[in-house]
Amino acid sequence: MAVEQYLFKFLENLNYVAAETARDIEERIFDDPKSAVMNARVFAEEIVKDVFRKEEIDYSHLTTHFERINYLAREGFLEKGTQQALAEIRLTGNKALHDATFRPDILEAIKIFKEMYKLGTWFAEVYSSDISIPSYKDPIPPQKGLGMDDVQNMIEQALSGKLSQYLNLKNEDNNTVKEQEGQTDNESKVSGNDDQQENKVITLNLNLPEGRSYLLRELKRLQESSQEAVENSNSFSKFKDYMHVAREIQKDFEEMITITKDSDRAELILLTGSVGDGKSHLLAYYNEKQREVMNKFEILNDATESFSPNKNALETLSELLDGFSDQKIELSKDKVILAINLGILHNFLSYEHEGKSFNKLKGFIEESGLFTQKVTTKYSEESFHLIGFSDYQSYELTNGGPKSSFYLKIFQKVFSNDSNNPFYISYQEDLKNNVKGVIHENFEFLMDKNIQNEIIQLIIQGIVRNKLVISARAFYNFIADLVIPEGYSEILDFEWNHFEKINNTVPHLLFKRRERSVILKTMSELDPIHIRSQAIDQIFIDINTLNDWDKIIEKYSNNYIAKEWLGPIAYQSENFNGLTSEFSQLLVRLAYLTNNSFAEEVIPSSYKNYMKYLYSFNKVEQRQIATFYKEIIQTIFKWRGSPKTGYIYINKPIEKFRIAQELSLKPKMDHLSPNNNDILTSFKQTLTIVFSDKQERENLTLEVDYPLYELLSNVQRGYCPNKKDEEDAIKFVEFLDQIMKFGNKSNEVLVHIPTENKQYVLSKGLFDGYTFEKVL
């Protein structure tokens, strides 16, 4: 029976042929989805031709549908969403027409039907002002002559249950789903004997409705909004136990509590750092694993608030640490572990305590160098012990470049093919239930260890180049952001077309969601499409000169999931001009993540050089440090300008006569302390250089971080710093002003007249006289 009130009826008066074509598709979509997909292209062709007619453009010279679409896109008639709808209809229609093995199911046909609706809606909105456009509705299965059981059987046979899931998800009570997803009892169950910890087998609570994803549920536990995100020194769940990654700081803390637990004197262990650096997690871990030992200590965590309305935080802390005051420490036997942020500790030591003093504690902190540039990971002296979380880096320096065993282990916790991994178990359960969407493809993509390493290298770049501070909690959330699109639910996987899907894959989630978090903001700034390099230029050349995009994909991408994402766009040699840029950007990002040699070519040389110098300075490798000093000296002369070797300008370049002085700098290395390990886990993240004057009576120190090094490297290669550069590098400018005092201007200056290319020397003569001579 013909559909009386079909979806595209609103097009009848605007384009009757297109409306009738859509009506026929709606009637036959369940009986013959392949025919529906092919006829969708007929619908699109009629809309495109009508655009030419309404715009009064002769298109007789444009002999193919592709050429007509490309013309409209190039001339600005089509917006991006309309181009994508046309591309999806055309490519899928071509595949159905030319590929005998391609048998689209009803869901794929419904996706194309939705693309037709997008195209028809755009057409009506642009070329009519009085059409009422109905809301989108899926086609209704035919029911005449069939009972509902027959209809359901037909659907299930055709789709192996996929459409059934889709309809169930659409009709499901959202409140019920949210309630189930928010339950706190979805902790992975662990079976096995307590004396066989290594053989534990994790199972899932299989309590989700049909079509819902267990992987999605588990991944949401990584998000900062989840209950698992709340750190408490007295609480350590099974999930946190699984996610725990041992670090060097754990070993140092364990040594401290082992040494001090049975002491017959007062013992204070300070865990210092910043918010979210893992202090609470470490305490919770040991409360769970070594409760008997931890019970010998009083644990004070986040002691920043007063327990009394009449006392402020510092007064409360003074009371809690009373046994460690100068007046009581000799007789005290208190054993306390205090987790405290650096700012609070600094304020406490500067505070005027009523009736007591903490000078011994203050002297201990000063001796440790905690508030200096010195690397202080652990330090002990008599009753006081310190672990400085801020100086335990989240990555290591090696001779072959930076690495991070910490971040890699977290990736492995989530993405390893391991029967004890709750994420992998949930992924397998979803596949068994025929639940697979973009989050599962993202998960598979991130199981690739090479991709994990490239993302970790980006994180390290963010730490070094952008001073990114990442807590373990924030890194867990970052992983969830890499897999889960914003506002994602399982229903979207049924409804997205290919272009919408690839906009929710890892490369886009990593580089194009800067507003989502501080980490993703940094990732967007490190997006390889912003980098100028020969390797990236070659990709754009290949795309714009080669017709076979399949070969381009094969050349640059080394991951099968990446090829599946790119493949449909490159299905035919013809591609829309309007989508070439989008394809190019996706290919560059995928090449960067999946092709190690490509990524190595793209990483800026200034960053690679800085990391080599960072390793050398912490190891005190004199040859490399000497090379760095030479670069800095050259840069100093280029920044201020130099008329001849060894001379540097004193005045500004806008003046007619340029005045220069001789400047001799003596580099020093005795301020550096060598680290003899091959792999450095604790180190300074800046390069500290020291210059002295000729007589070595005065020293000047400069801390060079990556942003400054990058600017200085550009200056060395000929870049002229502008006013903003000087504002950004104010410490370097001040350093230059100070180092100019090491010059010889009190005895001699060189006068340079640039317009005449002449130089003169004004110097002290005999008996306090002066000489003025032309330089040959």
CA dihedral angle for residue 465, residue 471, residue 472, residue 474, rounded to 10 degrees: -90
CA atoms within 13 A on the CB side of 582: 19
List the strands of the sheet with 267-273, edge to edge.
298-301, 335-341, 267-273, 384-388, 378-381
Determine the average pLDDT of the residues in 62-69: 88
The pLDDT tens digits of the residues spanning 375-414 come to: 778 899 999 999 988 778 899 999 999 999 999 999 999 9
Most confidently modeled range among 142-156, 576-590, 635-649: 635-649
Residue 159 has pLDDT above 80, yes or no: no
Average pLDDT, the chain: 85
Cα angle vertex 87, ends 84, 88, to 5°?
85
Residue 766 has pLDDT above 80, yes or no: no
Q: What percent of the chain has pLDDT over 90?
A: 52
The full 3-state SS of 526-563, as one line of letters, equals CCHHHCCCHHHHHHHHHHHHCCCHHHHHHHHCCCHHHH
Q: What pTM does this model have?
A: 0.82
Most confidently modeled range among 152-166, 214-228, 454-468: 454-468
For residue 400, what are the CA distances in angstroms to 269, 609, 614, 706?
A: 36, 12, 12, 18
Cα 664 from Cα 666, distance rounded (Å): 7
CATH number (3.30.56, 3.40.210, 1.25.40, 3.40.50) of 248-391 reads: 3.40.50
pLDDT band for position 275 (50/70/90)?
A: confident
Residue 444 has pLDDT above 50, yes or no: yes
Residue that has been written with the tokens 């029911």 in this structure: 143
The pLDDT tens digits of the residues spanning 76-134 come to: 898 888 988 898 888 888 888 877 888 888 888 888 999 999 999 999 999 998 889 99
List the strands of the sheet with 758-764, edge to edge.
647-649, 658-662, 748-753, 758-764, 770-774
CATH number (1.10.3720.10, 1.20.120.330, 3.30.420.40, 3.40.47.10) of 7-140 reads: 1.20.120.330
The pLDDT tens digits of the residues spanning 590-613 come to: 999 999 999 999 999 999 999 999
Determine the average pLDDT of the residues in 555-584: 74
- At residue 199, the pLDDT reads 43
Q: Cite the beta strand spans of 632-755 per DSSP E.
A: 647-649, 658-662, 666-668, 687-692, 699-704, 748-753
pLDDT band for position 155 (50/70/90)?
A: very low
- At residue 181, the pLDDT reads 45
Residue 233 has pLDDT above 70, yes or no: no
For residue 520, what are the CA distances in angstroms to 306, 407, 476, 482, 607?
A: 36, 16, 13, 9, 20
Determine how β-strand 384-388 pairs with β-strand 267-273.
Answer: parallel
- At residue 198, the pLDDT reads 42
Tokens representing 675 are 């680290």
The pLDDT tens digits of the residues spanning 551-564 come to: 888 888 889 999 88
Domain ranges for the chain, please list them: 7-140, 248-391, 405-605, 616-774
